[in-house]
Structures are given as structure tokens and as C-alpha cells.
Amino acid sequence: MRLSNKHKKYFSKGPKNLFILILVLLGMLALLTKLTDYTRQIKTINYSTFIHEVEQDRVREVTVSGQDVQGIFKNGSCFETVIPYIPRHWDILKEHNVNIRVENTANQFNIWYFLLFGLLIAALAIIWFLLRQARGASGGGSNIFTLGKSRAKMFLPSTIKENFDSVAGAVEAKEELKDVIDFLRNPAKYRRLGAKITRGVMLIGEPGNGKTLLARAVAGEANCPFFSVSGSDFIEVFVGVGAARVRDLFAQARKFAPSIIFIDELDAVGRQRGNGFGGGNDEREQTLNQLLSEMDGFQTQGGSVMVLGATNRPDVLDKALLRPGRFDRRVVVPYPDLSSREQILHVHAKGVSLDPEIDLAMIARGTPGFSGADLANLINEAAIIASKKNQNAVCLKDLEEARDKIIFGKEIKSMVQTKEDLRVTAYHESGHALLTLLQPEDSDPLHKVTIIPRGRALGVTHSFPEREKYTTTKQEMLAKIVTLLGGRVAEELAFNKLTTGAYSDFIQATEIARNMVCTYGMSDLGPIIYNQRHGDFAYSPKMAERIDQEVQKIITECYDKAKTFLKQNSDNLDLLAQELLEKETLYATEIYVLLDIEAREDYRFVQ
């Protein structure tokens, strides 16, 4: 595996926003009050003093509003006073050349009224905001009394146009989901023999790769109603509302069983419990607990309710969600590889008049790292560009223009690898793959190799054990370390420079080596536990030094071995990396043919 070193930040939305809004409003109020305090640093003087000051020629101007007078001394400081209803002062003021301004008392502008008014508005805004939050932006027509009602959108089978033909590529995902469709169509078939039907499937993949599309297609294929909701719709300011909504959603779905519930952004509700701050996030935990108990108990007589969840953060999900009887199936929906991209382009080009010269396979080649949504967008953007120019058909130049536009947008969001990056990733993964093949006795069979990014991994080499393993030999552990280090070695051999991409391989390799020395007694230090986790077996600092030396010895020897292997097979390394760059994903069978190796007999994953 090769890792990118881009980290994403996730900001949680919802109640925190409200909190911030209130803070800002309070801040503004405080500021206003402060300002008025400041301007109110005015000296209050009595009438006699006022007249005296005027007579001393110390007053520059006054503003008279009824009996209230505000004025400025010639030295710049301000004062205020109240004058009686006697006309005498007018003459005195005139005599001493004071500027007089008279205000109509009815139009008097009082900063305090203004503040009070502001406070009222702020309070109203907060109440309005709370209500809106509770209702949600899309809750059209609902009010505070329907808070606990689910906000899921329901689609009847007649309105669902998607089926498996609408989803291009995604072969593995479709294969997995075929079972689900059969469960929904023929529940009796499975129940007859007492089989427990799957209740939940987790669709895992980056946005835009067709998770929603697949879920709708399942509903279309099974011809059953589809309830669509986003995990964030459950999260509310008021404790208990989310749980009530979950209850309502499942009650609805059960009424229409067999049916499908699709929960997008499952991680919004499904995050690990018990790590909230300030006393935990009660609302979310209640909602999650409700979801778990609904999933445990919703087997109905008529037909089943299938829950499809979508997420791109399976790592943050609460473990309880993944237990049997809940989301016990996981379907990975990856970025499309070359041939999938071509098929997706074909699907979306159907209703668009394209220049017959255009070769969509070539377009697919030029769009690595594009998601299904990006490809749909590509065709659409190109059509818009062509329409603007009043062309009769979309031509290659329009597609190229649209592509550049999308790439520019994507680069900001990251994960589009440059050509050079892709080359390094291809060599890295080829290194892993080749070393697996070169140590057949001690490695698990290779499944596939890909340079299609997933999560933070830029590429992955999969191999699976042929059977459940209960023990591992020293040879197998060493072979694993050699294979893990092969990524870096391949990069080094091909490009003679070091990148950060091998970081997670090193973690794994170091962990294995350390366990060999400290836990499994597989080094010269003998069958002794030197493991901090087994706190009873303390060891001396001198021993710690020897442990480090042993670990280092294992890693160095494995690194050298990987280097020797790959140097001897540099032709195959180049061949494999080139093919991987071309096709992006290679299954083991294709690699056997390419490198002219005899396929392993026990190879189970025929593609």
C-alpha cells in the first residue's frame, strides 16, 4: 500500500453552528453596549453651572431637544443638562455666540431603545433558528409537532427508474448485492431452511462513486419501495428527536415491507460512542442506540426490511454497527478503473449527440482518478460548452475543455495523482506484488493490485489467505516483511529517490519484526516474552537495547532480500509497473499471464 500524506479535516455541523451563532450575537451586543458606554462619557452638569459656563464663553454648541440639552465645550469635552421652561437662556446663548440646534422631541433617537430593539431581534432570530434546525431545511410543511417524524423520502417502485444496467462497472459491488435482491424477492426461500437473512449492507467508498445509485438500483431490481435519508438528518438540537425519527422511519418501512432503507452519511449517526466532549453527545448516542435496536428487532412476517448504509469513513463507525445481524456485509464501491470509466462514459453519453469520431476509451484513459459523478459531469459540461457554441455535436475539444475544468476543481479537493505520482505508485505496488509471487511458499495468494486510490491509500496490493490460519511460521512472517518493504525498494530501484508513501508498510513491518523478537521467541534472544503489554515480564534497559538490535537486524536483512529479489527481476518489475499504469487494476490471473508464471492451483479468486 502506498499512502498519501494529505490529511482531511472534518468539521461537524449542527448544534455547534447554533452555539457559534449565539456567541457571535452576544459578542455583538457586548460590543454595542461598550460603544454606547463610551459615548456616554458625558459630564452631567446642573442648570446654573451651564449658564455660568455659557457666560464664561466656554460653550461652543448645544443641541436642545425639549428640556434636554447636550453640548460641547470649546475644549472639546461633552456635557448634558436639563433646562427649565423659561425663555431667558435663549438670549444668553445668543449673546455668547453658542451654536444652537433644536431637535423635535418626537423624533428623538435613543440608543437604549435601539439596543432593546436589537436584543429583541436577536432573541427572535435565535428562536427562529432553533425551530428551523429542528425542522430541517427540507422539511417542507412540517412544524414543531412533527419533529419526531422521519424526514426520509419515500419512493414507490413505479418511480424508481434505476436498475443494474444504470450502474456501469462496479462488478464486484453488483455481485455482492445480487444476494440482497434475492433476499428481498424471495424471503420464503431462505426462511424455509431457517437461514437468517442479512439485514444491513454497508456501502463504502468516496463520494460520487455510485453508492446511492447502487442502492436505488437494488430497489429497482427488487421492485420494492425505497426510503432515502441522510444520517445527518437524524441529528438535532433536541435530545430524543433523532431516536424518535429512527423509530418512525423503521415503522414506515415495515409497513411497506419488503422495502429498503438507505442511510447516506451513516457516519454522522454511527460514529464511535463515548468519545464526545462535555458529557458526551447524548443526542447522537441515543439515535445510534435506537438504530441498533431497530436493526436487531425488525424481522417481520410479511417481508424483510433491508438497510443499506453509505459511508466513506468506515474507520470511525461504532463497532456495534458491524456486528452480525446489523451491517454485516460490506461492499466496497471504489473509484472506477479504466474499463469501468469507459462504461460509465457510455452510460452517460447515451442521450448526448457526440461526434462519431470520439473514442470514449481514449477519454477514459485521460481521466484517471475521476469518480462516476465526475464522469457524468464531464459529459454534461462538454454538452453545455458545445451548446454555447451552437455546435451540432459535442466534439473532442469540448470534452478536453470540460476535463480540464473538472481536474482543476478536483485538484483542490486532492487525490488526483500526477503522472509522476502514478508512476511511483505503480512501481511501489508492483514491488509488493512481485515479492508475493517470488515467495509463493510463504505468502498468501495474490488477489489483485491497483493504483486506484482509496481513502488515503494511493494504491493497494491485495492478497488473501487460502484458508483460515491458526498459526504463522517464522518463514511466513519474514516473507511478509520482505513483501512489505518491497514497495519502498521498488521505488528506490526505479527512481532512486525516497518518498513518504511507504510509511504504513514500515509500521506493519516493524510491528511484525518486534513481535517476532518480543512475543514469539523467533530471534537469538530466545523464547522469552519481552512485551510491555505483559507488564509482569519487565526487562532491563540493556535488554531493550538488544531487542532494538534484533529488530533492526530482521528489518535490514529483509530489506536486502527484497532488493536482491527485485534486482534479479527488474524486467518483470518494469513490465508489471507499465501494465499497471496502463490498466490501473490487475487481477492475479492477468498477472500470471503477463509474467508467464504458472498460476497457483489453489487460486480461488477467478475473475
DSSP track, 488-531: HHHHHHHHS---GGGHHHHHHHHHHHHHHHHTS--STT-S----
Residues whose CB falls within 8 Å of the CB of residue 504, separated by 6 or more in sequence, listed in order: 1, 3, 457
Q: Which of 81, 212, 311, 443 binds ligand ADP (CB under 6 A)?
A: 212
The single residue of 236, 285, 381, 429 carrying the catalytic annotation is 429
Task: Considering only the stretches 120-128, 164-172, 391-399, 553-561, report the one whose residues sit in contact with ligand ADP under the rule CB under 6 A.
Answer: 164-172
Tell me the C-alpha distance between 464 and 454, whole Å.
18
Binding mask 356-385 for ligand ADP (x = CB under 6 A): ----------------xx--x---------
Least distance from C-beta 374 to ligand ADP, angstroms? 8
Tell me the C-alpha distance between 270 and 596, whole Å.
47
Q: Per rule CB under 6 A, is residue 168 in the interface with ligand ADP?
A: yes
Binding site for Zn ion (CB under 5 A): 1-2, 487, 505
Least distance from C-beta 532 to ligand ADP, angstroms? 42
Q: Per rule CB under 6 A, is residue 334 in the interface with ligand ADP?
A: no
- CA-based end-to-end distance of the chain: 22
Assess whether 601 carries a catalytic annotation: no
- Asked whether 552 and 417 are in contact (CB, 8 A), the reply is no
**CA 241 vs CA 146, 286, 315: distances in Å:** 10, 9, 26
Cell of 147: 419533529
Residue showing cell 449542527: 14
- Asked whether 345 and 327 are in contact (CB, 8 A), the reply is no
Task: Considering only the stretches 40-48, 53-61, 165-173, 580-588, report the one whose residues sit in contact with ligand ADP under the rule CB under 6 A.
Answer: 165-173
Q: Per rule CB under 6 A, is residue 482 in the interface with ligand ADP?
A: no
Which of ligand ADP, Zn ion, none has residue 449 at its interface (CB below 5 to 8 Å by kind)?
none
Q: Per rule CB under 6 A, is residue 332 in the interface with ligand ADP?
A: no
Least distance from C-beta 218 to ligand ADP, angstroms? 12
Residue 2 or 341: which CB sits closer to Zn ion?
2
Binding mask 179-208 for ligand ADP (x = CB under 6 A): --------------------------x-xx
Residue 63 three-state SS: strand
Residue 207 or 280: which CB sits closer to ligand ADP?
207
Residue 230 or 287: which CB sits closer to ligand ADP?
230
Q: Per rule CB under 6 A, is residue 409 in the interface with ligand ADP?
A: no
Residue 370 three-state SS: coil
Angle at 545 between CA 540 and CA 551, to 5 degrees: 125
Cell of 409: 476543481
Tell me the C-alpha distance between 607 and 604, whole Å.
9
Please count the CA atoms within 13 angstroms of the CA of 478 that sit on its side-chain side: 16
Q: Which of 167, 177, 479, 489 binds ligand ADP (CB under 6 A)?
A: 167
Cell of 414: 486532492
Which of ligand ADP, Zn ion, none has residue 505 at its interface (CB below 5 to 8 Å by kind)?
Zn ion
Which of Zn ion, ligand ADP, none has residue 522 at its interface (CB below 5 to 8 Å by kind)?
none
Q: Per rule CB under 6 A, is residue 211 in the interface with ligand ADP?
A: yes
Least distance from C-beta 159 to ligand ADP, angstroms? 16
Residue 262 or 427: which CB sits closer to ligand ADP?
262
Q: Torsion-angle region of residue 11: left (phi > 0), alpha (psi -120 to 50) or beta?
A: beta
Residue 347 or 393: which CB sits closer to ligand ADP?
347
Residue 54 or 168: which CB sits closer to ligand ADP?
168
Which of Zn ion, ligand ADP, none has residue 518 at its interface (CB below 5 to 8 Å by kind)?
none
Task: Considering only the stretches 145-153, 162-170, 505-513, 595-603, report the one whose residues sit in contact with ligand ADP under the rule CB under 6 A.
Answer: 162-170
Residue 115 or 347: which CB sits closer to ligand ADP?
347
- Asked whether 460 and 454 are in contact (CB, 8 A), the reply is yes
Task: Considering only the stretches 4-12, 163-171, 443-451, 458-466, report the one whose residues sit in contact with ligand ADP under the rule CB under 6 A.
Answer: 163-171
Any idea what DSSP says for residue 250?
A: H
β-sheet with 68-73: strand ranges across:
43-44, 78-82, 68-73, 59-65, 99-103
Residue 177 or 449: which CB sits closer to Zn ion?
449
Q: Per rule CB under 6 A, is residue 170 in the interface with ligand ADP?
A: yes
Least distance from C-beta 426 to ligand ADP, angstroms? 24
Residue 168 or 424: which CB sits closer to ligand ADP?
168
Output helix, strand, coil percentages for the chain, rounded to the nearest 5: 55, 15, 35
Q: Which of 477, 470, 562 is nearest to 519 (CA)?
A: 477
Peptide bond into 258 cis (omega under 30): yes
Residue 355 three-state SS: coil
Binding mask 252-291 for ligand ADP (x = CB under 6 A): ----------------------------------------
Which of Zn ion, ligand ADP, none has residue 373 at its interface (CB below 5 to 8 Å by kind)?
ligand ADP
Which of ligand ADP, Zn ion, none has residue 239 at its interface (CB below 5 to 8 Å by kind)?
none
Residue 176, burial from CB neighbour count under 10 angstroms (0-12, 13-18, 19+) = middle
Other CB atoms within 10 Å distance of the CB of residue 416: 20
Binding mask 296-325 for ligand ADP (x = CB under 6 A): --------------x---------------
Which of ligand ADP, Zn ion, none has residue 233 at its interface (CB below 5 to 8 Å by kind)?
none
Task: Give how many residues touch ligand ADP by CB under 6 A.
Answer: 18
Other CB atoms within 10 Å distance of the CB of residue 215: 26
- Asked whether 429 and 573 are in contact (CB, 8 A), the reply is no
Least distance from C-beta 410 to Zn ion, angstroms? 24
Residues in contact with ligand ADP by CB under 6 A are 167-170, 205, 207-213, 310, 344, 347, 372-373, 376
User: Which active-site residues does the annotation give?
Assistant: 429
